[in-house]
Structure 1
Amino acid sequence: MKIMKVTDTVSIKRSVEQGTEEQLIAVKRIIDNVRKRGYEAVKEYTERFDQASLTSFAVTQNEIEEAYREIDQKIVSVIQEAAENIRSYHVKQLRASWMTTEENGTMLGQKVTPIHSVGVYVPGGTAAYPSSVLMNVIPAKVAGVDRIVMVSPPGIDGKLPPAVLVAANEAGVEEIYKIGGAQAVAALAYGIESIQPVDKIVGPGNIYVALAKREVFGDVDIDMIAGPSEIVVLADESARANEVAADLLSQAEHDERSSSVLVTPSELFATAVNDEIKKQLATLPRRNIAEKSINDFGAIYITNAIEEAIAVVNQLAPEHLEIMTEKPMEHLEGIKHAGAIFIGRFSSEPVGDYFAGTNHVLPTNGTARFSSPLNIDDFQKKSSVIIYSEKAFNTNAHKIASFARLEGLEAHARAIEERLK
């Protein structure tokens, strides 16, 4: 891992999800084909990319019941408890419609309405991600979304992982389809014979899914284009090197392009963490992935003081930030840019990934400078409500008309003045 003294400007070496020209052409072709040929196009892509030949994409009740029989009941209990924690946290984010009345009788307000239908993409392939199901579905449910459609690529056996189905059922999903890739995004955005289109698509996926979401944006809404996972640990010598190293590796094992960064005012501590990373890598099952991530995208920044370290963190604007210092709460106020902030020794990043209740869908690639974690607001829309009183209209009509003419919009002005006749 590279150890560097801080200069004026620092940055995380990031891998941005831009895609190649060939990948973008392929995604556009898939989307166009699905729009034109619907079910048959999706069936062909599922056979080609997932090696699964399906007569129906819909998950049946029998498949869900089979998933419960196959999975350890202790894991079912963990999923249920995690779901309740996530639900409890997001309920606190709910907004209500409101209305105010001015002295002149005018009423102004805001009407909060849930998005009608949302598509949730859940990654598949070699791994199962029930946590992704819970984090994307439960906020939508709490927000009041009427229809939630989940898609996920099937295995060669034509099935979805039992844990994914159990999580979907516990979260309350009633429409589940065994479709993945750009073809799934197209099916959600434009519909096929067996699937009605949705209004918004959320959830992570590979580069083809990311490019497809970007391509359909505007016809439907999307949550974000998520990049590889990243973590920054702000620590001093009061932290334990072995625990910091373990937390850095927890993100490095995600992806060869993940970034793990330590910022510390202690050169001695920096060296200790670097040694621990080498030691722990030796026994890590996903060593090849984590080691490449650490070598290509990892870094340790040494600052002159903790205040400088906080400034470095704000420059980095990480997805995950851990504060492991002697007095971590004293540093919270100084943090301006971070997706999720984990404070203290026992707030290890995986606590937020799975169980605390906060959302693990977070802004990456420095977008924490202006973006927030997935939350209730992502599944609701706001409408302005204007009930203008006659008194206010008569008082302000000429002002409004003059403003309209200032912008060269005569019809706007006349729409006001017609009411004065």
Structure 2
Amino acid sequence: MLSPARTRFALLALALGGFGIGCTEFVAIGLLPDLARDLLPGVYAVNPEDANAQAGALIAAYAAGVVVGAPTIAAFAARFSRKKLLIGLTIWFALATFASALLPSFGLVLVARFVAALPHGAYFGVASLVATSLMGPGNRGRGVAFVIGGLTIANVIGVPSITWLGQQTSWRVAYVAVGVVFALTSLAVILAVPRMAANPGATVRNELRAFTVPQVWFALAIGAIGFGGLFSAYTYVSPIATDVARLPVEVVPLLLIAFGVGMTIGNFVGGHYVDRGVKRAIIVFFVGVIASLAGLLLTASVPILLFVFIFLIGATSSALSPAIQVRLMDVAGDSQTIAAAINHSSLNIGNALGAYLGGLTIAAGLGYLSPIVVGLLLSIAGVVLALVAFVFDRRATAREVPAAQAVPIDAL
């Protein structure tokens, strides 16, 4: 039995990994014009909008890496010691992030961002299971929220600070700083996280059984399509601020702070709310995302309202994350490791989908507000899909209950 102080230390170590992941995933958003200018100089000189749209592929590549890595690593590593696995994943993050900072060309950096993303979902999945174990029964939502809290706090402190550092020096210096965060996380996990026995019954086959459950696919689609709405708008927040609201580039880190504060508050509110009812939480927070995106579309040119709605988008979307993760854990049966990990696959499919579709509309000359329209349509599709999933779930439960209550013929 761990002491309360040791438990807090272990939870903070897990959250530090989430902090590093938040930095490595989101810092590219604030530095997107810098990445475009440095890695695509020829395109940028002719058409900055086209260069920014192409640079969005770096964000999509990271998202694709999460999608591939989360189920693969989670399935094959389910029988390993969770502490050793967390150490290995954080070292992987550090090395791949340093490579992103040092490689010379757009193509090589693109590959490095994909490789850096592979352990993302597995880390959050394993860390969430460790956190829920440390916090005890009845606290799944809060355990998941604590780990994700590192990511949300990164958007308050880490991403704006490292974005500012990159703007003052180079985006490469920014990624070196992120690599240092992961190196420190490895040390913290070694010192703080207790040893936890691996699950001897976990096999690749047992973990992959999650994909035979229809409600797992529903939950993945809800996350992917719904979160595409967030990322379609948020990926291009820097040019929205400078070209639509006419704000100086120095204001972009402050906008990222507003988003991060919203994410942090929404994450912990969502974690508490989820423990009272997962389905209700998903619907309530999806409606909040839709309302926030609509507000941003109508008021993006007004600086103060731009800040307000970026904050609200961060809060409502972040509250959805623990809800979808707990939903996956509820419907996946014994495949808990992969269920905890593939939530991040679905969210990053949304990341890639949103960034790609938003980039298409910008490249087509529809302006920097067009990704917000795409985001609205995707979020509406997400909430409709959630309602359909819950209807099927209710019908399946209604069929199972009478069967369970029936008296066997032999007993009559």
Which TM-score band (shorter chain)? under 0.3
**Which protein is richer in strand relative to its size?**
1
TM-score, structure 2 normalization = 0.28
TM-score, normalised with respect to structure 1: 0.27
